[in-house]
Structures are given as structure tokens and as C-alpha cells.
Chain A
Amino acid sequence: QITLKESGPTLVKPTETLTLTCTFSGLSTSDSAAGVGWIRQPPGQALEWLALIYWDDDKRYSPSLESRLTITKDTSENQVVLTMRDMDPVDTATYYCAHRRTGLRDFDYWGQGTLVTVSS
């Protein structure tokens, strides 16, 4: 059974750095064309893709947020971590991690999401 679960703070202050952890199970990490991505969704709004890390450690970022994002993985711990610097109230959203499968390029398994509120 494949599962992903996001964890991290529910409240951060403006200018602080957010660190989110995606803990997964049941995923094969041997396929270099697969990986884990982060996607967020402000309340009542659309999904926004943030970053993707492949199992071979190649990384991709949203250009509009690239200067603020870092994505890393620890396959020995079955975790992918996203850091977002200089948080702002507009970054208030539910943050999801999702498995990006090889070949088909979609996200076939998603976590339940974690709501992060940015407020002083």
C-alpha cells in the first residue's frame, strides 16, 4: 500500500522559513524518472505546483518561487523535505506532497495535505 503524509507547522510568522516533511511508504525509489512533488492550494483556489525531486536527485522548481524553495530527499528515511523561505500571508495554503510516476508524468498518489497559515 502506497501512502504519503505531510507534516510540519500549522502556523508560521511572516518572514520565517517553513519546513515541511513528506513521509512515504510503499514507493519504489529505484526509478530515476519517478519522484515526489509538492503542490499547494490556497483556500478556495486552484492547485499550484511548487517543486519536484526525482529519485536520482534531479530537481525542478516553479520559476516564480525558485529563489525561496529547496527540495531534498532522504530515501533511507523515506522522506522528502520542502523548505520555503521568507513566508508571507499569501503563502497560506494547504500543502500536498504527491508521487510523480515514471513515464506518465502525473501524480498518482497524494497525501492528505497540511494547512499552513502565515500570520503574525
Chain B
Amino acid sequence: DIQMTQSPSSVSASVGDRVTITCRASQDIGTWLAWYQQKPGKGPNLLIYTASGLQSGVPSRFRGSGSGTDFTLTITSLQPEDFATYFCHQSDSFPYTFGQGTKVDIK
């Protein structure tokens, strides 16, 4: 199985801050990497597909980058509605796997 290692596990930030979350795959996954946002009691919401594609309806402050084994999700200017947990997900090969999640909370 491909292991997805996400860091940090949590980050405290203020509105307007730039937040960066990283995800490392245990082997080359090309750009088969998606990012999801999850709020308490809700299902995940797709933000980024194929490493850098912005899902329709998602604000442009969310940016994805990377390829191979190293990927980054950047929130360029954190907004109040962005406090949530973020997961990466590889779909290069089965079994699909997810990162452990990064919780973004208010400083």
C-alpha cells in the first residue's frame, strides 16, 4: 500500500495567515493526489484534484502543487470558514489511501 504522510497534524493560525500543509507519498504517484476539507459532522469536500486542479466553486486562495512524492496545499489568506481538517488522498493505485489529516484551528 502507498503510505501518505501528512504534516503538520495540527496548525494554529489567524485570519489572513498563509497556511501550508504537506503530504508525502511512500512512492511516486505522479499527480494522482487530491485534497479535501472536512468540517465537524460533515462529509469531506473536494478542493484540489490531480495535485493542482482547483475544483469548481472552491476559492482561489486554495492552491495545490507538487508531483511524484511531495505535495503541498497552501491557503494563501486564511478565512474564518477555512478552520477545518484537511486530508490528502492518493488515487494512483489501489488500495486508495488518505493522509492522517491536518487540523487548522484558531490561534
Contact = CB atoms under 8 A, between A and B. Distances in A.
B11 to A, nearest CB: 17
Interface of A: 37, 39, 46-49, 52, 60-64, 96, 98, 104-108, 110-113
Interface string B4-22: 0000000000000000000
Nearest to B56: A108
Interface SS of B by simple majority: loop
The winner among A37, A39, A49 for most chain B CB atoms within 10 A is A49
B53 A62 contact: no
Interface residues of B, number: 24
Given A60-B94, A113-B43, 20 more contacts: A37-B96, A46-B98, A46-B101, A47-B98, A47-B101, A49-B96, A49-B98, A60-B95, A63-B1, A63-B95, A104-B53, A105-B32, A105-B34, A106-B34, A106-B49, A106-B91, A107-B46, A108-B46, A110-B43, A113-B42
Nearest first, the 8 A-B pairs at minimum CB distance are A110-B43, A105-B91, A49-B96, A106-B34, A47-B98, A62-B95, A106-B49, A46-B100
